[in-house]
Amino acid sequence: MTRTITIAFFLCICSTIFSQTTPKNRNIFIITTDGFRWQEVFTGADANIINDTKYVKDTSLIKNKFWDDNVDKRKEKLLPFFWNMIAKKGQLFGNRNYDNEVNVANIYKFSYPGYNEIFTGYADKKFIPNTPVNNKNTNILEYLSKQETYKGKVVAFSSWNIFPFILNEQRSEFSVNSGYEMLDEKNDSTNVLINKVQQNVADKGHTRLDMLTYASAKEYIEQNHPKVVALGFGETDEFAHQKKYDMYLQKAHQFDEMVAELWYYVQTDPFYKDNTTFIITTDHGRGKKDNTWNAHGFWVKGSGQAWLAILGPDILPMGEMKNEQKIYQEQIAKTVAMLVGEDFTPNHPVGKALNISMEKPTETLAISAIER
């Protein structure tokens, strides 16, 4: 009897502490880079691919920039912000060398289903190709945009021009700027300049240059201070499909630099400082072998292997997670809601929130991520 009471009391205390660590009305940035492998995140440039002239124009030059025999130095060369900041102040999930797995739950393992899973929490079995088809599933951004605290304070910017359909901008109550879509130039000289640059890009394609996406988003963030931001980059996937490993690495490094600059900005702006969480991930993995690294899809092994990074004022700084566990992309949407003190309950199935390790200044509660 005494043991039962003790256990019940302990569970009650844990529940109370956890509820106290759940923040209210935080700002949150969901940042993605398309098709970037966990292998490069956790071990840096691949030794075999970086030396293969089929995929690298100048192996000596690219190795000088991104190679080191020491894996810790190598991964830091590629992603310095990840390993000097997130790995020390946040949490990194997905190093399968430690059986720490981040998985894609959808069966297709390409972009539309991947982003749908991330933002709606639902690994939809319905096949939707990478085409401009409005998503019927409810996403976490539109849910938050209808809450009083976040009304008019949600925005999305992406390089890939299919995002407005994945997020169903037509139905949702927030703005989505994607591809080479022009920006509002009213009283904004920076947007005028960005639009001129966009108009002069010779080969526009479906994916805007990531630097233009970043510049567009950064200007909007500085001028409007949205509380919820989705920022999707795409050039890692573009150059992987083109079998250009040298450019793939350079775009990954550029991605790291942009995230670092954005983090510096939010930590030096009174509106965002110590009140903003970054969730960073990818929509799918890629092939594991030297001759399949550029491909992905349900037929390519490794395509369902992803990674996840979280950095923010309430996140316990546990760094690289080396415990054995499995988490899924479908858990991200509900986790976003939890991090801002909301409960995402759409009219379709949704993955459970991650029990990520969070902290308070005077109390700490560390709980490993749950299994699906």
Residue range 23-50, pLDDT digits in tens: 567 999 999 999 999 999 999 999 999 9
pLDDT digits (tens, 9 = 90+) for 76-110: 999 999 999 999 999 999 999 999 999 999 999 99
Higher pLDDT, 369 or 87: 87
Residue 140 in this model has a pLDDT that exceeds 70: yes
Q: Say what percent of the chain tops pLDDT 90.
A: 87
Domains parsed from the chain with CATH numbers: 25-365 (3.40.720.10)
**C-alpha dihedral sign at 125, 231, 331, 306:** positive
Among 357, 320, 316, 313, smallest CA distance to 335 is for: 357
The per-residue pLDDT for 23 is 58
**CA–CA separation, 150 vs 229, rounded Å?**
11
Across the range 111-126, mean pLDDT stands at 98
Helix (H, G, I), strand (E, B) or coil at 56: coil
Per-residue model confidence (pLDDT) at position 304: 98
CA proximity to 113, closest of 306, 325, 341, 258: 306
pTM: 0.91
Average pLDDT over residues 339-368: 77
Average pLDDT over residues 176-194: 95
Rounded CA-CA distance 210/253 in Å is 12
| Residue 280 burial (CB count, 10 A) | 24
Going by pLDDT thresholds of 50, 70 and 90, the confidence category of residue 173 is confident
φ/ψ region of 100 (left if φ > 0, alpha if ψ in -120 to 50, else beta) reads beta
